Structures are given as structure tokens and as C-alpha cells.
Structure 1
Amino acid sequence: MRNLDIRFVLFIVGVGTHLSVVQGNMISVDWDQVDRLLEEFRRVNEVPGVALAVVDSSGDQTGAKGYGVSDREENRPMDNSTRFLIASISKSFTAVISCRVLSLHFPELGESVLDTPIARLVPGFNLTLIDRYRTEQTTFRDLLSHRTCLNSYGIGVTAGAYKSRADRLYRYRYIGEKCAFRSGFEYSNPMVILAGEIIAHIVGVPFENLAMELLTELGMIDSLIVTPSENYETLERMSRGYYRNLDGQLAKMNASVYNSHSGAASGGIISTSADMARYLHFHLNKGLLDGQQIVPTEVMEWVYRASNSVPFPGLPYNDVIQGDFGYGLALDLGLFGNLFRVGHVGDLSPFTSRMTFYPEVGLGLFTAINGPGPLPATSDHLHLHNQLTQLILDGVQPSTSRLHKNSCSEHKSIVPKSVRDHEGHHQRIQSEALVGVYGHPYEGDVHVSIGPGGGLELQYGIWGYGSLLETDETNVYEIEWRGDIVAIFLAYSGGPPLPSILWDFNTPDTLTYEDPDGRIEYRRNATIETYPEIPWSPDSCLH
């Protein structure tokens, strides 16, 4: 890719910054300053608890600790054994597992195994995507570096719309195109999950088993995989998650919501700051941990190789140019000054986290919080990691004046423009005529019924239910959500108000979902059984 080469040039010349490069194991951590910085971060963002790990590749300056509380009701302190959902940081484990399995099962191919079409490499899996070309040409590099350009936007996952794991995986074949194949970066949880499933097929065991095997080899003794049946209210040392309720106050999330994130491949690992310190050592030493080469160095290099490009923002931070220029296999690749930076964020709100490491200087950082959800860019995990990097490598005093309070007033309720500007006159459709099942091949089924009070009710998956309320526009309804989905939406938006969501029945036999980010059309009685198993014509062109 042409743009990727340009960004490598930026990396080589160091983009004219002021951050010095520390040679060897000369990292020094002033823990008093680190403690003050973390407490200020917690205060500004009104975070109940923070977990932190700081490591160097030699292990001489390893520290993992906690700040604040993991349980506000019990006043239980946060420490380095407190468990968090690390969300999408889990994807980096999937990349490591995938590369190790592929290198063992197809040794003759070397790194080119990542660029071999899965349809040819693993024909027994029967990978099926939205068109013939993707089906026949998609590779592991495509899946793990978000190059398929398939649109994973939607509400089905949030609502818990899938009946089973098999149902979810089957529906991935209907995810529509967002951009041309391999033409850009389109972040996709489903594609990483598919990568994990294909690797499991190759080995012949569930992917969760492979993930637990790696966690055990890494000595991550307190880390677990999310399961559909575990009680996360009672799991030992599991942090509670906190979101801002409709009154703007911190409230505890129902932990049963986490069960829907079962499976390790995309976001299902639970870990601690102590365990994540070991994981950072593993990466900083390219697969070597405690004297054991768990994954060959040359295979670890596959993970760090730029496989996709992203626009380099070149954003200044304290006179240091920083930003991401590319994406490896489930890892962001970027610069902080003249340092090569590798990392990833995790967001299963209200839990959010970030992992960052600098291979050249052997510094690794991890932070995780238990609420209240996404933070402003002026005081988020990346901002904190930038402060820690400068503090540790250059002794630069962090500026707390740049931290801005996470105010609920910053969130605006936006009515979707496509509905607000809706023109034309429609005859009002009686409520009884709107009752039925409306399906989408990827997003699942929406059930509309008449409630006990005579009004329209909507049921969407496990979590999505509420009352449909008429708006000023004919046959367009807003929803009054009830139950845990209210907390889910508030957690992901960082607090009130709830996102504006409208449901439009004006197109015959169609229910159109609209929010500020887009729209989804559900067809009456179009359940998954009504769609062709192969979503493209057998005689369609390859190109």
C-alpha cells in the first residue's frame, strides 16, 4: 500500500521530536510521581478504580498496583489482583495464538501463510462471506488487520440478538460491504472472532481452550475467559463496573451483561494488572518469558509487521508528535516522538483499558478502569500513557492543567438528520398492522407487539425491550427503553442522555432503525431461514 510506505518514512526520520531515546535498561520509575498522576487521573474522570502496570523488558522496574476501589458498595480496594474485562486487548492474544498455530501446522509457508486464502488453506472450514471474491480470497492477515472492509456497525450485539454462538457465526456471512476489499481500515469484531474459530477448527479444540493454554504458559494465573454461565457478581476478586445513570450518578452495572461477551477471540479475556505485566514482558522480549521461548521470535515478528495503514494524525503532545500510522495483527502501530509505539485499547464499557509498549526502550504500560465508560480525549488512557511515558523516560512533570473533567453536559442528544428532515405525507398505519417480526440477516430479529396498555412494545434480543412512543412524524416512533439496556447505552456513551433512536414504519413491510450513526432496515418476516445460505450467486464473477 502506497500510504503505508510514507508512514514508515515518518517512523524512520523520527518526525523531528524532542523525546530522547533511552538505551539499554535505564528506565527509572518515580513511584511517588506516578501515584500522584494516577490519583489525579482518577479524580478528574471520577473513576472509582484504576489498575496500573509499568514494566521494563529486564523486569527490574516492574510494578503493578491499584488505585481507588473495585467495589464502592463494599469499599473494597483496587489492587494488582483485581480482575477486569480487558475487552479488545484480547484480540492481541488471538493474533499470537493464530500465528503460533499457523506456523506449526504450515511450517513450509512461513509468514506467507498469513497471505494464503483461507478457502485454500483450510477448505474444511467453509468460510462464507458476503460476496464470492471475499469468500475465496480472504486471508488471516485480512481478518486480523481489519482489511475485509465489512461493515460491523449495528445494534444486534448490544441487544443480545443472537440465539446462540452458532447463530452469531452463521450470520457473519451477511455483513455488508463498507468499502472495497483491502482498500482501507474498517474495525471489525466479527472478523477477529472468525479468525479464532478457524484456528480452533485447524487444531480441533475450542478457541477458549487455546486461549487458556496460552494464559497458563504465560503464568497469567488470575486471568480467565468470559463464559455464558459464570456468575460475575460473585466471581472472586472481580471488579464491579460503574456507569452514570440518568441522574448522572455512578451506579453498578448488572454483571450478568458480561456473559454475552463469552469467547476469547475478540474481547472475552478477564485479567489483572499483575498478569498484564507478564503479558507486556512477553511482548517486550518477543515471545520469551522466564527464560522460555513460548512463541518463536520470528513468529512474534509477524504480529508487529504493519499489515494495514491508517491516516497518521501527527498530533502534538507536549511538543512531541505522536499518533498511529498503521495496524499490525490486532495491534496499533504508531509513534511517540522518535519511539516506535505498539498497543491496543479495550472498551467493554464501563470497563475500558489500554496496553502500550515501546520495543526500542523496553517500556510497557497497562491501565484499566471500572467506569464510568469512555473518557474524553483530553484525559483518556492514551493521554495518561503519554504522560507516563514522558515522566518515566524524560522525567517530564505531567501537566494536570490539560486534564479536563468528564462532564455529562458534554454529551448531546442528536435526532438523526435523515428522520428529522423527513419530507412527504404518509397515511397513519394502525398499531395492529405494525405487529410482527422484522428480521435482518446479520442484526437479528425485532418483535413488535401490542402491550397490556394497548400501546406498541418492542423486543430485541435479550436486553432490548421497551415501549414505542409516537412522534410528530407519522409512523415514526421513539423508544422508551426498559431494563439493563439502559445501563448498557449509558455506559457506552459515558453518561446521560440516552442516544436518540427512532423506528420508522413508513416503508411497506419494513422497520427502519435510525440513530445518529446510521440506519438499518429490518424486513417483515425475514427471519434467518428466509435468506439463501450462500449470499451470492454461484455464477457470479470472481472479480
Structure 2
Amino acid sequence: MRPLFFALALLSAFPARSQDPVPDAAFAEAADALVAETLDLFGTVPGLAVAVVRDGRTVYVRGFGYADREAGEATTADTPFYIASATKPFTALLAALADHDGTLALDASLASLFPDVAFASEAGADAVTVRHLLSHTAGVENEPLAFRAAYTGQHTPALMRRLLAGTVPNPTPRGTYRYTNTGYNVLSLRLDQDGPWQDQLAERVLRPLGMTRATAYASEAALRRPAVPYAVHPARGVERVALVKHDDTMQAAGGLYASATDLARWLTAHLNEGRVDGRQVVPAEVVAESHRPVVTGRDERYGPFGRDGYALGWHTGTYDGEPMLHHLGGFSGFHAHTSFMPGRDLGVVVLANEADTGGRLATLLASFVYDWWAAEPGARDAVVEQVRDARAELHAGLTGYLDRARAQLEERAEGTWQLSLAPSTYAGIYENPTWGVIEVEAAGDGIAVRFGRLYGPATPYSEPETVRVELVPGRGEAVAFDLEGGRVLSLRYDGQTFVRTAD
């Protein structure tokens, strides 16, 4: 079988867009049918929302399937979805606005942002700039800070500033692209000095653009009937994801809920030099600055989407040989696709409340949109058939993956506990001053592990005094206990040691 994305690449083999106007109703009819039948075929993605922006206006926006299957809540164009890393262009635009106002320079150094922090000399804080932080070219990393911000929620402003001093070089030199959340997390600590970055984003970007359902607070999103996250379990089928976002895990690298309607307005601003509804909402020069590549020379692909550089929050590259900017977002139970082609004055949003298959379908459907509008009217039926062929290949790949995953589950179910003591003996509080606090609980005949907002029951593992946990759904990891004289002294998780401080 060819790779799943091979078929997607075929979708770009159509001629340039016809200059003749095309009735929006024709596209709506084709898209409605294609999206609906795709959801029915897969049956693993509860809901999708799709929006298309063309020639300065939203020409299509729809919701399909369920935002909440158990409640029977249908997905609509106004259903907020968590968009994960598709938040990055928003944070970057906020920084570009601050630069335009003179309150935060894009070329300010990391050291000047935090003059009271004693950065290690090897971090090069005097040379790392805000522009580096926003373009993944800073050459530094701070994994504990990023992990607390996105996953555990175990943080305070004072703690996060203390962790800043632990910023270290990453394997790539400054000026070289290496994707990481750290730059955005670090910058948000500086933004917070002028008020919560979430509030600044709402005041400077979301409200002016008329993004009425968008928010960087999970607590606010919960009041707006948001999409519920789902995942496909090989044995149990589609089920709700236990890991959900809270205000303390909504962070500047991935901390926004928005609807398809909201994101259509967002792309309109980027395609229209900052104008929305005939108003200059964002200065044109700020929008242009956010699109200008900071780093070039990349040679990567995400399916049919080429990536040759990175701007302020946007991957720069090509689709079908023409310039495109895009950013995706993925987290347990969610996938977001946002992209636009300035030369075609065309942008696409696809949101899914399931991450794995949902991400592949988002790429497929976005490709369909770009190719449908590029094709001559007489060739559009062929575009639809190409999508159906690619969809069939994706479906076959999903079936094969689930079969393999079921076999792994069956093999794992035959495992036996390798713990030498009673489950209650392992229960307790374990602390690491940099990474945080893990709580181990007795749970029936086994144990469960809680790490801030993360929680998961443990299952047997092959090594002595070790269990397997999925604190992040789909990401199995080992937790190993260190014993002495029949007492558990510490545990090791993800290469870090947590010392037991209480029973």
C-alpha cells in the first residue's frame, strides 16, 4: 500500500484557477455531500467544521456531525473547538502589535525581557530575540516550563519565572528552525507583566476581529457549548477523552478555542491586509510583518503542503507550486487546520474533535477546497473523484492500524504485574523541584497515577517494579519505582526522578 499521504499529493495536479466567477452554490453542494459522506464512511470522527474564505468574504461555513455525541449536540459553524498550536499565529500577531505600538520590540533580547533572571551563559540570552522565540529559531529549550504550562497546570507566576533560569541550549544553533513550544511560553511570561496574555489577546485581536466565540480561557469556552474531545480506542471504539483543557493548561503556544466562523474572520484579515467588514482592524504593516519569513531553507512537507520557512507563527511554503501560509494544531481529541493562499485570495479552516483520523481528513478536505477552486468548471467532478479515491486509501490505512492496535492490546492484556509489594505500599506523594508533584493512588488491585491535570490507571509492564501509564491518551510511558528495605523511596518518569515526600 502506498503511504496515506501519497494520495493527497495527487490532489494538487490540476490547472490554475479559472478567472471566470463560479457560483458559491455549486461549491456548497459538492462540499456538503463530500464532507457528510466522509464522516459516514469513517465513523471515527464525531464532528467537523469547515470554512472557506475567498475574495474577501466567507463563501462557505458549515458544521457536521456531533460536537457532543452523548448529549446529541450537533456541530455548527459556531461551535468552539480547541485549536491547540494553531494558537501560535495569534500570539505572534499580538507580539507584532506590541512591536508596532512600541511596547515590546520584536528584536529585544531575552535577557532584556527578564533583567532579574540569571540565565546560564550558554543559553545566549543576550543574543536570543523575541523574533527568535516566535519563529522556533532561538536555539533554546525549557521543557519543564513548557510541560507545566500545557499539561500539568502545576505553576504559579513566581514558579515559572524561577524556571526561566533553567533555559538551556537545544541541539540546534540559534537561527536554525526547531519546533518547540518554549519560545511562546517564555514570551507569554513577559506579556503577562502587562496583564494576562489571554486578556490582551481578546482586547487586541479577538474582539476587534469579531471573533465572538473565541476565547483563551477554557472556563469561558465551557459556557459556549464547545466540541467535546474524542479518540478511537481499538477495542472500545470512539470514546470521550478524559484529558480536557483547564484555564491553567491554556498556554500561549496552544491555548485558544475558536469556531469555524471565528477562524474564517481570522483568515479574512490575513488575506485582506488586516481589513474585515470594510474596517482596518489590524495595521497592514503588522499583518505583513507576521507573514515575513524569519527562517528559510526548510525542505519539508505535510502531505501536499510544502514548508520552506517559518514566519511569526506561520509555516511558509507552497501548495501546487504557489505560496501558502498555514498552521495546524493537534492535541488529544482535537485537530485544527488553518491555511491560506494569498495569490488565490483563498483560505481554509477545518476543525475536528478527534485528532488522529481527524487530522488526516482535515488535510484531505483542505486539499479538496484548493483544488476545486483551482480547476476549470468541467474538471471539478474529477477533483471530487480524486478525493474519494484518496479517502478510500485513508480508510484502508485506518482499518489496518486498528487491527494492529487491537493485537497489541491483546498482547498487553496478558501481562502480569511486576510489583513486589501491595498496591497501597506504592501510594504517596512524589516530588521533583523542577518538574512538579506526582501522586500515586491505590486503585483496586493496581495503582493509578496523577500528575496535576494528567491522570491514568496503571497497567502491567515487563520490567520489575515498573508500570505502564497513559497520562496523555495514546502516549504510553513507564513509571519505575525505587525500593529499599521494603519501602518505596522514589519513582522515575520520563527520565526524571521524583522523591517520595509523603504517604
Q: Please say whether Structure 1 and Structure 2 have the same fold, judged by a TM-score greater than 0.5.
A: yes
Give the TM-score taking structure 1 as reference length: 0.73
Match of 1:249 among 229, 237, 245: 237
In the alignment, is the contact (CA less than 8 A) between 1:175 and 1:442 conserved in 2? no
Structure 2 gap ranges (5+):
1-11, 410-419
For the pair 1:280 / 2:263, whether they are aligned, the reply is: no
In the alignment, is the contact (CA less than 8 A) between 1:436 and 1:524 conserved in 2? no
Distance in 2 of aligned mates of 1:24 and 1:369: 32
Give the TM-score taking structure 2 as reference length: 0.78
Match of 1:208 among 176, 191, 198: 198
Q: Residue 236 and residue 524 in structure 1: after superposition, are their counterparts in 2 closer, same or farther (change >3 A)?
A: closer
Distance in 1 of aligned mates of 2:156 and 2:107: 31
Match of 2:257 among 270, 283, 287: 270
In the alignment, is the contact (CA less than 8 A) between 2:274 and 2:282 conserved in 1? yes
In the alignment, is the contact (CA less than 8 A) between 1:332 and 1:344 conserved in 2? yes
Distance in 2 of aligned mates of 1:218 and 1:436: 49
For the pair 1:72 / 2:69, whether they are aligned, the reply is: yes
In the alignment, is the contact (CA less than 8 A) between 1:335 and 1:341 conserved in 2? yes
1:48-197 mapped onto 2 (5 Å cutoff):
48-59=46-57, 62-105=59-102, 113-120=105-112, 122-123=113-114, 126=116, 132-149=122-139, 150=141, 152=143, 160=152, 162-164=154-156, 166-168=158-160, 170-174=162-166, 176-182=168-174, 184-197=176-189
Distance in 1 of aligned mates of 2:168 and 2:407: 28
Distance in 1 of aligned mates of 2:164 and 2:268: 35
Match of 2:476 among 500, 503, 506: 500
Aligned position for 2:293: 306
Structure 1 residue 249, shift from structure 2 partner: 2.1
Distance in 1 of aligned mates of 2:346 and 2:248: 31
**Normalized per residue, which structure has more strand?**
2
Q: Residue 164 and residue 410 in structure 1: after superposition, are their counterparts in 2 closer, same or farther (change >3 A)?
A: farther
Match of 2:331 among 348, 361, 371: 348
Q: Deviations over 1:203-249 (max 9, x none)?
A: x222111111121110112222224x4582xx233223322346332
Distance in 2 of aligned mates of 1:361 and 1:392: 9
Q: Kindly, what percent of the aligned residue pairs are identical?
A: 21
AA at the equivalent of 2:499: R
Distance in 1 of aligned mates of 2:20 and 2:214: 28
AA at the equivalent of 1:384: L
Structure 1 residue 70, shift from structure 2 partner: 2.2
Q: Secondary structure at the match of 1:345?
A: strand
AA at the equivalent of 2:75: M
Q: Deviations over 1:250-286 (max 9, x none)?
A: 22345x8221565462222221111211111100012
Aligned position for 2:32: 35
Q: Deviations over 1:318-363 (max 9, x none)?
A: xxxx411111111111111221010111123312110010011100
Q: Deviations over 1:476-515 (max 9, x none)?
A: 3334x6xxx5xx50xxx3xxxxx432223469976332xx
For the pair 1:226 / 2:209, whether they are aligned, the reply is: no
Q: Residue 455 and residue 87 in structure 1: after superposition, are their counterparts in 2 closer, same or farther (change >3 A)?
A: closer
1:454-493 mapped onto 2 (5 Å cutoff):
458-467=449-458, 469=460, 471-479=461-469, 485=471, 488-489=472-473, 493=474
Distance in 2 of aligned mates of 1:347 and 1:364: 19
Q: Residue 138 and residue 521 in structure 1: after superposition, are their counterparts in 2 closer, same or farther (change >3 A)?
A: same
Distance in 1 of aligned mates of 2:406 and 2:121: 38
Structure 1 residue 441, shift from structure 2 partner: 4.7
In the alignment, is the contact (CA less than 8 A) between 2:231 and 2:240 conserved in 1? yes
Q: Secondary structure at the match of 1:137?
A: coil
Aligned position for 2:226: 238
RMSD: 3.8
For the pair 1:388 / 2:379, whether they are aligned, the reply is: no
Structure 1 gap ranges (5+):
1-16, 108-112, 416-427, 494-498, 514-518, 528-543
Structure 1 residue 391, shift from structure 2 partner: 1.0
Match of 2:278 among 287, 291, 301: 291
Aligned position for 1:421: none
The size of the alignment, in residue pairs, is 460
In the alignment, is the contact (CA less than 8 A) between 1:280 and 1:364 conserved in 2? yes
